[in-house]
Amino acid sequence: MSTTTADRGPTPEGVAYPSSMDDYHRKVTNRLKTARGHLDGIIRMVEDDAWCPDVMKQLAAVQGMLEGTSREVFRHHLESHVADAIRTGRGNEIVDELMETLKYDKRVLRPPPTDLDGPPADGDASV
């Protein structure tokens, strides 16, 4: 599904979308399509009665991929839309919007995992 300017609604006054927008869309779309393909594989695993721990490992991999994609979308939003809103005097509006959005996805604020083989550096294994 292709997103056009019309699908996003009108561009806010004073906001210019950079030429790198195409790269951003391509990167996020590719990540989501990869996750979708991975999910299709997991569905086949379940249908074939695969070993539950193997299914769980694959589910964790997709969740990690989606969390990384969410961080990418968040970073893009901060670097482009939020920065533009602040420059045009709409800082309070955009901060309120972000606070509302973050109620639904707090994981986007977690740092990306760096060591998948051991517990977190602070010793808290409950992550």
Give DSSP secondary structure letters for 87-125.
HTT-HHHHHHHHHHHHTT-GGGGSPPPS-TTS--TTS-T
Residue among 2, 72, 77, 92 at smallest CA distance from 31: 72
Looking at the domain that runs over 19-109, which CATH code has it been given? 1.20.58.1000
Token pair recorded at residue 33: 């399509």
Kind and range of the H or E run holding 55: helix 52-76
pTM: predicted TM-score of the whole model, two decimal places: 0.66
pLDDT in tens, 36-68: 999 999 999 999 999 999 999 999 999 999 999
pLDDT score for 59? 97
